[in-house]
């Protein structure tokens, strides 16, 4: 069943149905979005040359409001990013009237500023690439940095998976406490707190490298409580591991719950989560979840379908 008034391809000419284009990164999510919108996915052929180059070809998008759904995480970041850029360019050259990049997980968002000499700003580079490929608007889910909208030279629609994940968390243990594993996740934890009516504790950490962190201080009472660690993303699991150890030292229960909008589970993550006493692990399908890690995956399809429906003129943007 479609969402709201977004019927099928037979809609009137005043508000024709949006056209959805997807690459190979997350076909299940794209199929779910199209099913909820009640539209057919635009055919997209992705030819791969022996040397690894891609050449996409898309179906009819002329004079239409087009949404290119791609993700940029899960172990093949650069292939996925290049695929997204080429699909955007193909749609632009095929006459799309308006072109929106729907990127649930926005890679390089952690590189939103220079933290040392000689560094670049990866988030700005990726944003400029999207603009150069023809994107006029960007939809992202819980980006790692709030500065993303300021550094991207196009309209950015930021949506959140908190409602979806908070609903999936219920019922929560009566002795639970929400734990932000670093200062950057504090606002996210407060949003979960508004849904779940739970107290919040915040960890202060220092990042030692791309894979190692040190949790230094805990603000908030976790003694005797069940920690629910909430973050925008899980990469290697080092941040969660450090937060769990600090909470345990402060007297929390040994078991914990972990919730994140984006589950990358890269590098040492399988080993880390194999050792942690995690009772529940929840993520969305912004990135195709890996095998071998017991995780509950909550689909972003309803959120993205509703966002596309509103942006395409069927509803006002909230």
Is 217's pLDDT higher than 90? no
Q: What is d(CA 227, CA 214) in angstroms, rounded to the nearest whole number?
A: 18
Q: What is d(CA 132, CA 125) in angstroms, rounded to the nearest whole number?
A: 11
* Listed residue (231, 184, 230, 181) closest to 202, CA to CA: 181
The residue whose two tokens read 């690894």 is: 52
Is 286's pLDDT higher than 50? yes
pLDDT at 181: 93
Is 40's pLDDT higher than 60? yes
Burial readout 44-78 (b: 16 or more C-beta within 10 A, e: otherwise) = beeeeeeeeebebebeebeebbbbbbbbbbbeebe
Query: Residue 41 gets which letter from DSSP?
Result: B
What are 242-273's pLDDT values in tens digits? 999 999 999 999 999 999 999 999 888 999 99
15 near 313, Cβ under 8 Å? yes
Is 223's pLDDT higher than 60? yes
Q: What is d(CA 184, CA 205) in angstroms, rounded to the nearest whole number?
A: 10
36 near 13, Cβ under 8 Å? no
State the chain's mean pLDDT as an integer. 89
Total Cβ atoms within 10 A of residue 91: 29
Q: In this structure, what are the phi and psi dihedrals at residue 82, rounded to the nearest 5 degrees?
A: -65, -40
Residue of 124, 187, 205, 279 with catalytic role: 205
pLDDT at 69: 96
When mean pLDDT is compared over 35-49, 198-212, 282-296, the highest value belongs to: 35-49
Is 11's pLDDT higher than 80? no
What are 97-149's pLDDT values in tens digits? 999 999 999 998 888 788 789 988 888 999 999 999 999 999 999 998 877 87
Is 9's pLDDT higher than 90? no
Q: What is the mean pLDDT of residues 301-316?
A: 86
Between 141-155, 207-221, 236-250, the lowest mean confidence (pLDDT) is in 207-221
pLDDT at 277: 96
DSSP string, 91-148: HHHTT-SEEEEEESS-TTTT-SS--STT---HHHHHHHHHHHTT-SEEEEES-S-TTH
Between 68-77, 212-221, 226-235, 245-254, the lowest mean confidence (pLDDT) is in 212-221
Phi-psi category of 224—alpha, beta or left, where left has phi over 0 and alpha has psi -120 to 50? Answer: left
- Residue range(s) of every CATH 3.40.50.2020 domain in the chain: 19-160+301-311, 163-298
Q: What is the mean pLDDT of residues 57-82?
A: 91
Report H helices in 142-268. Answer: 148-151, 162-169, 186-196, 238-249
Q: Catalytic residue at 205?
A: yes
pLDDT top residue among 210 and 218: 218
In CATH, what number does 19-160+301-311 get?
Answer: 3.40.50.2020
> Which tokens in the block code for residue 148?
């993303």
pLDDT at 273: 93
Is 23's pLDDT higher than 70? yes
> Which tokens in the block code for residue 307?
């966002």
Pick 163-298's CATH classification: 1.20.1250.20, 3.90.1210.10, 3.40.50.300, 3.40.50.2020.
3.40.50.2020
Q: Which strands form 176-180's sheet, in the order they lie side by side? A: 213-219, 200-207, 176-180, 226-234, 256-263, 278-284, 296-298
pLDDT at 44: 92
What are 157-166's pLDDT values in tens digits? 999 999 999 9
Q: What is d(CA 91, CA 262) in angstroms, rounded to the nearest whole number?
A: 27
């Amino acid at each position: 069943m479609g969402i709201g008034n977004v019927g099928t391809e037979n809609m009137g000419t005043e508000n024709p149905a949006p056209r959805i284009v997807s690459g190979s990164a997350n076909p299940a999510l794209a199929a779910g979005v199209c099913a909820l919108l009640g539209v057919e996915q635009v055919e997209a052929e992705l030819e791969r040359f022996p040397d690894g180059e891609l050449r996409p070809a898309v179906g009819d998008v002329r004079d239409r409001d087009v949404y290119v759904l791609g993700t940029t995480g899960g172990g093949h970041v650069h292939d996925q990013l290049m695929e997204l850029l080429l699909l955007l360019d193909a749609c632009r050259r095929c006459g799309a009237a308006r072109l929106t990049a729907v990127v649930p997980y926005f890679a390089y968002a952690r590189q939103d500023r220079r933290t040392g000499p000689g560094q670049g700003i990866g988030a700005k580079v990726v944003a400029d690439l999207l603009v150069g490929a023809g994107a006029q608007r960007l939809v992202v889910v819980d980006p790692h940095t709030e500065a993303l909208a300021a550094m991207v030279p196009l309209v950015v629609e930021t949506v959140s998976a908190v409602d979806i994940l908070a609903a999936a968390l219920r019922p929560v243990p009566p002795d639970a406490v929400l734990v932000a594993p670093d200062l950057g996740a504090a606002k996210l934890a407060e949003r979960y707190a508004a849904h779940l009516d739970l107290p919040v504790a915040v960890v202060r950490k220092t990042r030692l490298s791309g894979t190692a962190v040190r949790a230094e201080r805990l603000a908030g009472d976790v003694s005797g409580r069940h920690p629910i660690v909430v973050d925008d993303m899980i990469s290697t699991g080092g941040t969660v591991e450090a937060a769990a150890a600090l909470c345990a030292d402060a007297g929390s229960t040994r078991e914990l719950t972990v919730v994140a909008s984006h589950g990358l589970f890269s590098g040492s993550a399988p080993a880390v989560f194999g050792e942690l006493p995690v009772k529940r692990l929840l993520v969305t399908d912004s990135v195709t979840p890996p095998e071998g890690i017991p995780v509950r995956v909550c689909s972003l399809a309803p959120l993205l379908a509703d966002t596309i429906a509103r942006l395409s003129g069927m509803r006002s943007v909230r």
